Chains A and B, each alone.
Chain A
Amino acid sequence: MGLRYLLGRLLGMIPVFFAVVTAIFFLIRFAPGGPFDSERNVPPQILENLNKKYHLDEPLLMQYVHYLNDLAHGDLGPSFKHANRTVNEIIGEAFPVSLELGLISLVWALLIGITAGGLAALKPNTAFDYIPMSISILGICLPTFVIGPFLVLVFGMWLEIAPVSGWDSIGDRILPSLTLGFAFAAYISRLTRGGLMEIRSLDFVRTARAKGLPESLILVKHTLRGGLLPVVSYLGPALAGIIAGALVTETIFSIPGLGRFFIESALNRDYTVVMGTSLLYFTLIFVCNFLVDVTYTILDPRVRHE
């Protein structure tokens, strides 16, 4: 039954994870340049010491074995660029910020998206349908670096009702999460509308009407579950994408999230930070998709019995 399938997915994850570790490890090292190339005028002696300190003087295979060993102990190693800081520390500090931003954005996206899509499906081809669906096209097309400054301009500068940068008070959460969540809300609203409209045309909804059930009960009991399945399957990629894609938003609003480290480390060849952040994102994507599978199994009895 479904349980065995889910367990299989979990176990199948182990070799995939191993392959990902290996691939990133070697790819980043084969990229031209090294972590200390950009420091100007480093005396050869110091460079040598640095390389020694970070085991960069050893053969690549040995470094790989070292890394695997540390990883198995939950140690992602020291950062090459941020002296005296470990990757665990960096992630431990920055990731919760990104996670919080992502989760708040997702809540916005779900609230706005499902409400708008549900209304549109209840009153198709009316203003309740046309207006939110037109806005959602904007949401999907406009990039965050347009939406963000636009919201800052309207709510921060003109109306002055929301702070425009920082990550301290509750108010600081409003504009960044709206910026980040907007595109996802747009997408979810379209998925919701499509899903509900499709379900509503199915035979079993006609049966529910023929039984004399009121429309509201039909919506809640008979159409929501099946109609929201597309949204559920979208949630996994969405959550992962929302967190990983927070970079632009984090930059616009000066938020100390993980996105900055991710990009910076790749440019600086800060090998361990690249590895750490990539593995984190990979795990995140996997976990999100796994949770979606679990939810799907709960929602659709036909999957459960396969």
Chain B
Amino acid sequence: MGEVLHVRDYRAYFHTRRGIVKAVDGLNFNLSAGETLGIVGESGSGKSVFLLSLLGLLPKPPLRIESGSAQFGGMDLVTASEDTMRSIRGNKIAMIFQEPMTSLNPYLKIGTQLIEPLMIHRNKTKDEAFKIVKGSLLKVGIGDPDRALNAYPHEFSGGMRQRVMIAMALTTHPEILIADEPTTALDVTVQAQILELLKSIQKETGMAVILVTHDLGVVAGVADRCLVMYAGKLFEQGSVDDIFYRSQHPYTHALLKSTPRLDKALAALPSIAGTAPDLSKLGPGCPFDARCEYVKEECRNSFPTAKRTEEHESFCHLEKLP
């Protein structure tokens, strides 16, 4: 399958008064059409900053892209002009967010908001656009599109609003859909429905999906490949099987251990001891050193280079995980 996105050595730092916050520090990955890439990592690991900055949605300053490139459709998103980025956003790359309750404008009818991408990017008239979005609403499981178009967001539940967001993202047939924790704010059954919906739409349209989540269970369910981030750094990436069954990284291990499993009932879920480091005070070593049970001298002095077996890539000084 064709590759749609190449990210190389991507570094995005916040230059704040209190110092430089290295929110994203060296990401490398490829994304193929039709593929779902899961990005996991604890809170504050830089997942949102990476994706928002990729689309040019974070103000610069304070953010600066320090290095790297993101090749998409024959151009580099890092150096593209604001006008170019605007023509890509909501068109070739669409994004949905964690907070369905607040991501829609409370003052405008859902219909008015839904047709905006088509009117901006496809020069559709209102009538044409309404016809198309009705189709999209049906596709995301909203049975009465006419009513939905005339409703205001507050008349809908969180799950319904997230469906609306997905419908909006789909209207322009994007090549990539970025979903930043799309189900975190929803209850479990709705969560499953939304993920199911994303999966089926993807099968139909062949778009690539980047799915950010805290929940490794979600990754196991819907992702093809997975990327593990910690403190702005890439720790491990590979197929879902690589990550779940052949993980080479102590952090991934710890994450897996703290994920609830249906087949093993545990009295109490172990969580990873310690807290994530302050991203403005990182040394040259591995940022996980203080919390890692296998920490060695060299971990404190240098960040490891990649250990690779085919698609599977892991960044750890440890020869082999015991």
Indicate if the CB atoms of A203 and B97 lie closer than 8 Å: yes
- B residues engaging A (CB < 8 A)? 55, 57, 86-91, 94-95, 97, 99, 102-108, 116-117, 120-121, 152, 154-155, 165, 168
Closest to A214 in B: B86
* A81 part of interface (Cβ distance < 8 Å): no
Instruction: Choose one: B90, B108, B154; the contact of A210 (CB below 8 Å).
Output: B90
Tell me how far the C-beta of B288 lies from the nearest C-beta in chain A, rounded to whole angstroms: 31
Indicate if the CB atoms of B102 and A210 lie closer than 8 Å: no
Closest to A300 in B: B107
* A260 part of interface (Cβ distance < 8 Å): no
In whole angstroms, how far apart are the Cα atoms of A292 and B95 in the complex? 37
* A207 part of interface (Cβ distance < 8 Å): yes
Indicate if the CB atoms of B107 and A299 lie closer than 8 Å: yes
Q: Which residues of A contact B121 (CB under 8 A)?
A: 212
Q: Which residues of B contact A212 (CB under 8 A)?
A: 86-91, 117, 120-121
Indicate if the CB atoms of B97 and A211 lie closer than 8 Å: no
Closest to A301 in B: B152
Indicate if the CB atoms of B95 and A210 lie closer than 8 Å: yes
Most buried by B among A203, A299, A305: A203
Contact mask A138-180 → B, CB, 8 Å, 1/0? 0000000000000000000000000000000000000000000
Most buried by A among B104, B106, B155: B106
* A85 part of interface (Cβ distance < 8 Å): no
Indicate if the CB atoms of A203 and B103 lie closer than 8 Å: yes
Tell me how far the C-beta of B139 lies from the nearest C-beta in chain A, rounded to whole angstroms: 18
A residues contacting the other copy or chain, number (CB 8 A)? 21
Tell me how far the C-beta of B257 lies from the nearest C-beta in chain A, rounded to whole angstroms: 33
Indicate if the CB atoms of A226 and B106 lie closer than 8 Å: yes
Indicate if the CB atoms of A204 and B120 lie closer than 8 Å: no
Q: List 27 A-B contacts (CB under 8 A).
A: A203-B97, A203-B99, A204-B103, A206-B103, A207-B97, A207-B103, A210-B57, A210-B90, A210-B97, A211-B90, A211-B116, A212-B87, A212-B91, A212-B117, A213-B86, A213-B120, A214-B86, A214-B120, A221-B108, A222-B105, A222-B108, A226-B105, A226-B107, A299-B107, A300-B107, A302-B152, A305-B155
In whole angstroms, how far apart are the Cα atoms of A221 and B116 in the complex? 11
Indicate if the CB atoms of B106 and A302 lie closer than 8 Å: yes
In whole angstroms, how far apart are the Cα atoms of A301 and B155 in the complex? 10
Given A213-B120, A301-B107, A204-B102 contact (CB < 8 Å): yes
Indicate if the CB atoms of A211 and B108 lie closer than 8 Å: no
Q: Which residues of A contact B57 (CB under 8 A)?
A: 206, 209-210
Indicate if the CB atoms of A209 and B89 lie closer than 8 Å: yes
In whole angstroms, how far apart are the Cα atoms of A206 and B178 in the complex? 14
* A202 part of interface (Cβ distance < 8 Å): yes
Most buried by B among A202, A204, A211: A211
User: A204-B106, A211-B120, A212-B117 given. 15 additional CB < 8 A pairs?
Assistant: A204-B103, A204-B104, A204-B105, A206-B57, A206-B97, A207-B165, A210-B57, A210-B95, A211-B89, A212-B87, A212-B88, A222-B108, A300-B107, A301-B154, A305-B152
Tell me how far the C-beta of A77 lies from the nearest C-beta in chain B, rounded to whole angstroms: 48
Closest to B95 in A: A210
Tell me how far the C-beta of B47 lies from the nearest C-beta in chain A, rounded to whole angstroms: 16
* A28 part of interface (Cβ distance < 8 Å): no
In whole angstroms, how far apart are the Cα atoms of A131 and B269 in the complex? 56
Tell me how far the C-beta of A163 lies from the nearest C-beta in chain B, rounded to whole angstroms: 44
Leading 6 A-B pairs by shortest Cβ distance: A211-B90, A212-B90, A212-B89, A203-B102, A301-B152, A204-B105
In whole angstroms, how far apart are the Cα atoms of A301 and B117 in the complex? 23
Closest to B151 in A: A301
Given A204-B102, A204-B105, A210-B152 contact (CB < 8 Å): no
Q: Which residues of A contact B91 (CB under 8 A)?
A: 212
Tell me how far the C-beta of B175 lies from the nearest C-beta in chain A, rounded to whole angstroms: 14
Given A213-B116, A301-B152, A207-B89 contact (CB < 8 Å): no
Q: Which residues of A contact B88 (CB under 8 A)?
A: 212
Closest to A205 in B: B105
Indicate if the CB atoms of B104 and A211 lie closer than 8 Å: no
In whole angstroms, how far apart are the Cα atoms of A210 and B165 in the complex? 11
Indicate if the CB atoms of B107 and A202 lie closer than 8 Å: no
* A294 part of interface (Cβ distance < 8 Å): no
Q: Which residues of A contact B104 (CB under 8 A)?
A: 204, 207
In whole angstroms, how far apart are the Cα atoms of A299 and B152 in the complex? 12
In whole angstroms, how far apart are the Cα atoms of A202 and B94 in the complex? 19
Contact mask A281-306 → B, CB, 8 Å, 1/0? 00000000000000000011110010
Closest to B117 in A: A211
Most buried by A among B90, B107, B116, B121: B107
In whole angstroms, how far apart are the Cα atoms of A213 and B90 in the complex? 8
Most buried by B among A210, A226, A305: A210
Closest to B107 in A: A225
Q: Which residues of A contact B152 (CB under 8 A)?
A: 301-302, 305
Most buried by B among A204, A302, A305: A204
In whole angstroms, how far apart are the Cα atoms of A208 and B102 in the complex? 12
Q: Which residues of A contact B154 (CB under 8 A)?
A: 301-302, 305
In whole angstroms, how far apart are the Cα atoms of A212 and B56 in the complex? 10
Tell me how far the C-beta of B182 lies from the nearest C-beta in chain A, rounded to whole angstroms: 13
Q: Which residues of A contact B155 (CB under 8 A)?
A: 305
Q: Which residues of B contact A226 (CB under 8 A)?
A: 105-107
Closest to B104 in A: A204
Q: Which residues of A contact B94 (CB under 8 A)?
A: 210
Closest to A204 in B: B105
Q: Which residues of A contact B102 (CB under 8 A)?
A: 202-204
Indicate if the CB atoms of A210 and B116 lie closer than 8 Å: no
Closest to A304 in B: B152
